[in-house]
Amino acid sequence: MEPITRRSPVVFDRPVKNKHIRDNWEIVLEYDNEGPGPHLVDLSHRSRWDIQDNQLDGYRPFQISIPQAPGQCMFKGGLLINRMNRTQASIWHLAGDTPDVPADPAYTDTTDGTVFLALFGKNGFAIAQKLSALDFLEPSSRAPFLLQGPFAHVPCQIVVMEKTAESAGILLTCSRGYARDMVHAILDAGRQFGLLPAGEAAFSNWIEKL
């Protein structure tokens, strides 16, 4: 029986320069003429989980402690763990080999039900602020940190990974059904700043520098 190819809900109207199949996902590594940035990258193939339990502080997913306070994040070993509230956290795989999810009913795989995007580079925050009233530059919040709220009028989880004068780095997830409208809104907001889609290779280069 032929393996089923998994496809992202995101489609960029750009010529593909390099792509491959990994874990049954068709992944674009590089588009033609990606430019210097800012960039928008589809990461929907990257595994994501929610973990929910009344005793959440007793869990150490993948041997990483869950942050204590809502909004706090921990990035370690290629995994980003975001504390959402008293009983719930999300886990996003950003780098390295995909880990096996623990066999525990507290974990729910959210990969196929959500879209996952990265927006990074110069003027990233200027683009984001056109689409949301969330405070991406709140002075007391040190990256990485989690925001939850509307982005382009869609409920999202958003993590600010980089917050410097030179560059911004934002990751966001929302329901899979909003993929087309979300991508259109971000690219439209970023047009004046030269925002272009990029492949996973550009994201990997950026995340390795954090």
Say if residue 2's pLDDT is above 80.
Answer: no
Strand 114-121 versus strand 168-175 pairing type: antiparallel
Q: What is the pLDDT of residue 4?
A: 78
Q: Where are the domains of the chain?
A: 21-45+113-208, 48-109
39: closest CA among 182, 197, 194, 165? Answer: 197
In percent, how much of the chain has pLDDT > 90?
Answer: 89
**d(C-alpha 165, C-alpha 172), whole Å:** 21
CB 84 within 8 A of CB 90: yes
Say if residue 5's pLDDT is above 90.
Answer: no
End-to-end distance of the chain based on CA atoms, in angstroms? 42
Strand 79-83 versus strand 73-76 pairing type: antiparallel
Mean per-residue pLDDT for 31-48?
97
**d(C-alpha 92, C-alpha 26), whole Å:** 19
Domain 21-45+113-208, CATH class in plain words: alpha beta
41-91, pLDDT tens digit by residue? 999 999 999 999 999 999 999 999 999 999 999 999 999 999 999 999 999
152-186, pLDDT tens digit by residue? 999 999 999 999 878 899 999 999 999 999 999 99
Using alpha carbons, list the distances in angstroms from residue 101 to 27, 111, 116.
21, 12, 18
Q: What is the pLDDT of residue 50?
A: 97
Say if residue 1's pLDDT is above 70.
Answer: no
- pTM of the predicted structure, to 2 decimals: 0.96
CB 193 within 8 A of CB 126: yes
**d(C-alpha 96, C-alpha 73), whole Å:** 19
Mean per-residue pLDDT for 136-141?
92
Can you tell me which residue has the tokens 């390795």?
Answer: 208
CB 120 within 8 A of CB 36: no
18: closest CA among 2, 34, 38, 37? Answer: 34
